[in-house]
Amino acid sequence: MSLLTLKNRRERGFFDGQFLIAMPGMEDRNFARAVIYICAHSDAGAMGFVINRPQSLTFADVLQHLDMIKPEDSIVLPKRAREFPIQTGGPVESGRGFVLHSDDYASDSSIPVSDDICLTATLDIVRAISKGDGPTRATMLLGYSSWAAGQLESEVVNNGWLTCPANEDLIFDRSLDDKYERALAGMGVTAAMLSAEAGHA
């Protein structure tokens, strides 16, 4: 599923607003121990963002890449902009940035993905954040994750993912190292329990 499909959708699918939590046996290295927030799901497929993968780039690096500031200007960015989190959202279009954010900021290009969360993929939000403005809660993700029609359903049936309602606090939580364990804990399970269960027929 593409961003265009997300923008043009009319109804929310079954996995919309859900977390996908990778089972311990996940073989795809892109998604090992991944927690994914699903933004759109329909008969056409699904798309979402990994929310627990660090990215080596800083927000200042992104601004320099976009020719919005010079390297020497990084130090004068507002504290909020200097500390703005950048994550790896998935393997698709990994050079493209998306900002997942609270709904207190909106532009003509913002797409609502839930009652409280929007997605914006244009420079206006980057400019706002660079000035210390923009949404109250936000994170930038480079790339996204997507599934073709029926693919996600098949992976869930084949025990590739656990699913549960998304937790907004966890989406924007900047502590990534233990987010996988905390997402599982929200379901009342641990990775050790899942590993043990996977060994039984």
DSSP 75-127: GGS-HHHHT--EEE--SEEEEEEEEEEETT---TT-EE-SSSEEEE-SHHHHH
Strands in 6-91 per DSSP E: 18-22, 35-42, 45-50, 86-88
Give the pLDDT confidence of 140-156 residue by residue, as tens digits. Answer: 999 999 999 999 999 99
pLDDT bucket at 201, cuts 50 / 70 / 90:
very low
pLDDT at 102 over 90: yes
**What is the domain count for the chain?**
1
Q: Is residue 7 in some structural domain?
A: yes
Q: Is residue 24 in some structural domain?
A: yes
Q: Is residue 26 in some structural domain?
A: yes
Distance CA 39, CA 57 (A): 24
Q: Is residue 201 in some structural domain?
A: no
What are the Cα distances from residue 64, in Å, to 61, 98, 104, 157, 184? 5, 17, 26, 44, 37
Q: Is residue 175 in some structural domain?
A: yes
pLDDT at 99 over 60: yes
What are the Cα distances from residue 104, in Å, to 8, 76, 79, 147, 180? 22, 25, 20, 29, 27
Distance CA 87, CA 66 (A): 17
Angle, CA 12 vertex, CA 156 and CA 98 arms, to 5°: 85
Q: Is residue 200 in some structural domain?
A: no
The domain that holds 39 is classified in CATH as 3.40.1740.10
Q: Is residue 122 in some structural domain?
A: yes
Q: Is residue 198 in some structural domain?
A: no
Instruction: Flag whether the pTM goes above 0.75.
Output: yes
Residue 9: which domain range? 3-193
Q: What percent of the chain is predicted at pLDDT more than 90?
A: 65
* The pLDDT of residue 196: 46
Distance CA 88, CA 56 (A): 9
Are the C-beta atoms of residues 111 and 49 closer than 8 Å to each other? Answer: no
